[in-house]
C-alpha cells in the first residue's frame, strides 16, 4: 500500500517547503506516495490536489485576521474533518501555525501522527506557548540550530533539519549578467532587489513606502533601477502598483531565476521574513524593513524577547542587516540605509562575510534540508506504527 501523507501549507514559503518535502518522500518510496491536503502551485506540480486555494490562508496580523475569522474557522474544521475521513499515515502542517496547529489540535486522539514543519518562533515572544504546542503536535521540524534544545525543554521532540534557503543554487556572475541583459538593465546601473512580502496585507503596507524610499535614493544615484521579486498569487496587485513608480522597475515571479535576479542586484530592500535569508545566501547586502498595523504592533512589542527581527541578525546575535521597524520605517530612513550600502564597498563586504558564517550554521555544508526533513517524517511514522502494532 502506498504511503499517504497529508500536508497543509498556508503561504508561499510553505509551498516551497512542501513541494521539496514531497519530492524527497517520493524519491525514498520510488514514487509510491499519495499526497493530500492544502498547498500552492509548487505542491500542485508535485501531485497535490489542494482542498481549497492556499491563498485564503495567506494573511497576517490580528487586525487582518479578525474580519476573516469565521471563514478561517470553517476551513480549519473542514481540513480536520478531511484528515479524520482519510486517515493519512501522517499529517505534516507547514509553517502558518495559526492555521496548521489548530488543525492538528482537532486531531488529538485521532490516531494520526502530527508533525509541524518550521518551529513557531515562540522563543522570540511568549515562550510559554511552547508548552501548548507540545500538547498539540507529536514532533517538530526546526530550521534553526538552537530550536531543538528550546522545544525539548518543554517536552516536545524536535529535529533540526536545516534551513531551506541552503538548497537554493548559488547563481554565477554569468547568470546575473544574463538576467540584466534579458530585462534590458544596463550592466553599470545600480539595482535594488525589492521584496515587499508574499501576503496581500504586506503588499498594502510596504509597496508605497518602498517606492517613496527608492525614489529618494534615485535622486542621488543616477540610473537606479529596481527588481521587484514577488509570487504568483499577488503578481497582478504588485504589477499594477509598480507600474505607477517613477523609477524603472522589473517585476519577476520566476522562481527558477529568483536567485539570478538577486545576484543581478547590488543591494536589497526586503520585508522581514525568509527573504532575509534568501538574500543572505545569494550574497546580496540588504536592509530589512517591516511594519504591522498599529494594533498588532502595540500588542506584540511588549512581548518580544529578542533584540532583532531579521533572522540573520538573530543568528549572529548582532545587527548584520540594518533593520527599520514600525516608527523607524520611513522613506527617508530606507533611502539612507540603502545609500549607506551602495556607497560603501567595505560595508557590503562586512555584511557578506558575516552572512557566509550564518549559512554554515543553517546546514549549508550538510545534506539538503528537504532530505533531512523527509527522513525525520518517515522516522516519526515508523515509530508511531511500531507502537500501534
Cβ atoms of 227 and 190 within 8 Å: the answer is no
Does pLDDT of 92 surpass 50? yes
pLDDT digits (tens, 9 = 90+) for 307-335: 777 888 888 889 999 999 888 899 999 99
Asked whether residue 209 falls in the same domain as residue 353, the answer is: yes
Q: Are the C-beta atoms of residues 292 and 326 closer than 8 Å to each other? A: yes
152 and 193 housed in the same domain:
no
pLDDT score of 68 more than 70: yes
pLDDT at 305: 53
pLDDT, tens only, 107-138: 999 999 999 999 998 887 778 889 999 999 99
Three-class DSSP category at 250: strand
In this predicted structure, the answer to whether residue 63 has a pLDDT above a threshold of 50 is: no
Question: Is residue 304 scored above 60 in pLDDT?
Answer: no
Same domain as 221, residue 131? no
Q: pLDDT tier at 293 (50, 70, 90 boundaries)?
A: low
| Integer Cα distance of 210 and 331 in angstroms | 7
Q: pLDDT tier at 257 (50, 70, 90 boundaries)?
A: confident
Specify whether the CB–CB gap between 307 and 191 falls below 8 A: no
Which pLDDT band holds residue 213 (cuts at 50, 70, 90)? very high
pLDDT for the residue numbered 282: 84
Number of domains in the chain: 2
* Domain harbouring 129, CATH code: 3.40.50.2000
**Does residue 61 register a pLDDT over 60?**
no
Same domain, yes or no: 99 and 177? no
Which grid coordinates are listed for 177? 549578467
The residue segments making up the domain with residue 27 are 3-162+366-388
Are both 185 and 326 inside the same structural domain?
yes
Residues 123 and 158 grouped into a single domain? yes
Quick one: 178 and 205 in the same domain?
A: yes
pLDDT at position 269, please? 96
Does pLDDT of 302 surpass 70? no
pLDDT at 294 over 70: no
pLDDT at 256 over 90: no
Inter-residue contact 265 to 227 (CB < 8 Å) = yes
Q: In this structure, are 182 and 272 located in the same domain?
A: yes
Same domain, yes or no: 128 and 188: no
Phi, psi at 267, each rounded to 5°: -145, 175
Distance CA(227)–CA(248), nearest Å, equals: 9
300 has a pLDDT exceeding 80 = no
Residue 364 pLDDT > 90: no
In whole angstroms, give the CA distance from residue 42 to residue 180. Answer: 26
Q: Predicted confidence band at 193 (pLDDT cuts at 50, 70, 90)?
A: very high
Same domain, 47 and 29: yes
pLDDT above 90 coverage of the chain, percent: 65
Q: Are residues 154 and 232 in the same domain?
A: no
Q: Which of 133-142, 158-167, 183-192, 197-206 has the lowest mean pLDDT?
A: 197-206
Same domain, 140 and 218: no
Residue 6 has pLDDT above 70, yes or no: yes
Mean pLDDT, all residues of the chain: 89
Alpha helix positions (H), the chain: 12-28, 41-45, 62-65, 69-86, 97-105, 129-134, 147-152, 173-182, 200-218, 235-242, 258-263, 274-282, 294-300, 311-316, 331-342, 345-361, 369-388
Confidence at 355, pLDDT banded by 50, 70, 90:
confident
Amino acid at each position: 500500500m502506498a504511503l499517504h501523507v497529508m500536508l497543509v501549507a498556508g503561504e508561499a514559503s510553505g509551498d516551497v517547503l512542501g513541494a521539496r518535502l514531497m519530492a524527497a518522500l517520493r524519491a525514498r518510496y520510488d514514487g509510491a506516495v499519495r499526497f493530500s491536503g492544502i498547498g500552492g502551485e509548487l505542491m500542485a506540480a508535485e501531485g497535490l490536489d489542494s482542498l481549497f486555494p492556499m491563498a485564503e490562508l495567506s494573511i497576517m496580523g490580528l487586525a487582518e485576521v479578525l474580519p476573516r475569522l469565521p471563514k478561517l474557522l470553517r476551513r480549519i474544521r473542514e481540513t480536520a474533518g478531511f484528515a479524520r475521513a482519510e486517515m493519512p499515515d501522517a499529517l505534516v502542517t507547514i509553517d502558518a501555525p495559526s492555521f496548521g496547529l489548530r488543525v492538528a489540535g482537532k486531531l488529538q486522539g485521532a490516531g494520526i501522527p502530527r508533525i509541524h514543519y518550521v518551529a513557531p518562533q515562540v522563543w522570540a515572544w511568549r515562550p510559554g506557548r511552547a508548552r501548548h504546542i507540545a500538547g498539540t503536535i507529536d514532533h517538530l521540524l526546526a530550521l534553526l540550530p538552537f530550536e531543538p534544545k528550546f522545544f525539548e525543554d518543554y517536552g516536545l521532540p524536535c529535529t533540526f533539519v536545516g534551513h531551506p534557503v541552503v538548497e537554493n543554487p548559488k547563481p554565477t556572475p554569468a547568470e546575473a549578467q544574463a538576467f540584466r541583459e534579458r530585462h534590458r538593465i544596463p550592466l553599470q546601473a545600480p539595482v535594488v532587489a525589492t521584496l515587499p512580502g508574499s501576503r496581500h496585507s504586506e503588499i498594502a503596507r510596504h509597496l508605497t513606502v518602498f517606492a517613496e524610499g527608492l525614489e529618494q535614493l534615485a535622486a542621488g544615484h543616477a540610473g537606479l533601477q529596481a527588481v521587484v521579486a514577488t509570487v504568483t498569487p499577488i503578481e497582478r496587485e504588485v504589477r499594477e502598483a509598480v507600474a505607477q513608480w517613477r523609477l524603472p522597475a522589473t517585476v519577476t515571479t520566476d522562481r527558477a531565476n529568483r536567485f539570478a535576479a538577486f545576484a543581478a542586484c547590488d543591494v536589497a530592500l526586503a520585508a522581514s521574513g525568509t527573504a532575509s535569508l534568501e538574500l543572505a545566501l545569494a550574497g546580496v547586502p540588504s536592509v530589512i524593513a517591516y511594519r504591522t498595523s498599529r494594533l498588532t504592533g502595540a500588542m506584540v512589542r511588549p512581548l518580544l524577547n529578542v533584540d532583532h527581527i531579521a533572522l540573520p541578525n538573530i543568528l549572529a546575535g548582532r545587527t548584520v542587516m540594518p533593520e527599520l521597524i514600525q516608527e523607524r520605517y520611513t522613506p527617508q530612513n530606507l533611502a539612507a540605509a540603502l545609500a549607506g550600502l551602495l556607497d560603501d564597498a567595505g560595508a557590503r563586504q562586512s555584511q557578506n562575510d558575516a552572512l557566509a558564517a550564518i549559512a554554515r550554521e543553517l546546514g549549508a555544508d550538510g545534506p539538503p534540508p528537504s532530505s533531512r526533513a523527509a527522513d525525520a517524517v518517515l522516522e516519526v511514522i515508523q515509530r508511531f506504527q511500531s507502537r500501534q502494532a
